[in-house]
Structure formats: structure tokens, C-alpha cells
Amino acid sequence: AQKITQTQPGMFVQEKEAVTLDCTYDTSDPSYGLFWYKQPSSGEMIFLIYQGSYDQQNATEGRYSLNFQKARKSANLVISASQLGDSAMYFCAMREGNTGNQFYFGTGTSLTVIP
């Protein structure tokens, strides 16, 4: 089974609107971390936000927030007030606490912000 599933290959959003990028995960490890990365067309991988499995509150970093629903095993990224510079690929990833050092990545969502 896939550890990380991102079901939206491509998304469009109007500038200044909010957008939600979906991510579901699969693990039986009680300790895990969830991460979102941004990859602009220039190619570098940029860390955006982290959510731990024991965190009670949803993580926020500026315009990025994570809608963490543990029972549903989802960790959706919310970008508020979209900007043209948000156009990029977005990857969700998970790292388990007790089963090694691997990170599991989804296949990504391509976000295009329309002026």
C-alpha cells in the first residue's frame, strides 16, 4: 500500500484565494512526522511545514497551515492568499518514528496560480 497519497495531479487557484492540497497517509506507527515541500520550476526542494503525530494543534507557518485529521489519516496543506510565486509542485512526505530513517513521498500536486 502507498504510504503517502496525493490524489490531485494538478490544481488551479485564483490569485489571493485560498487553496487546499490533499494528502493522506498510511502508517501503524504511533510516532510519525508529516512534511510538506515546495518545488518551484527552478528545481530546488523547499521545506514548508511540519506536523507531528502527537501535536494537538494544526501547524502553521505564515500563509501555510496544515489541516491535520489524525483519525482520517489526512494532512492537507492550506495556502491562504495565493500569490503567483506559489505556482510550483508540492510534495507531502512522512517519516515514521520507529521503523527507520526513510521518508516516504507522494507523487506531488502541481499548483498554478492564475492572475
Partner 1 sequence: NAGVTQTPKFQVLKTGQSMTLQCAQDMNHNSMYWYRQDPGMGLRLIYYSASEGTTDKGEVPNGYNVSRLNKREFSLRLESAAPSQTSVYFCASSGLYYRNEQFFGPGTRLTVL
User: Can you read off the three cell numbers belonging to residue 76?
Assistant: 492537507
Classify 19 as helix, strand or coil.
Answer: strand
Torsion of CA 41, 6, 46, 20, to 10 degrees: 90
90 binds partner 1 (CB under 8 A): no
50 binds partner 1 (CB under 8 A): yes
- Report the C-alpha gap between 115 and 47 in whole angstroms: 25
**Shortest Å, Cβ 26 to partner 1:** 15
Q: CB nearer to partner 1: give 19 or 59.
A: 59
| Residues of the shown chain interacting with partner 1 in the complex, contacts defined by CB under 8 A | 31-33, 35, 37, 43-45, 47, 50, 52, 91, 93, 95-97, 100-103, 105-108
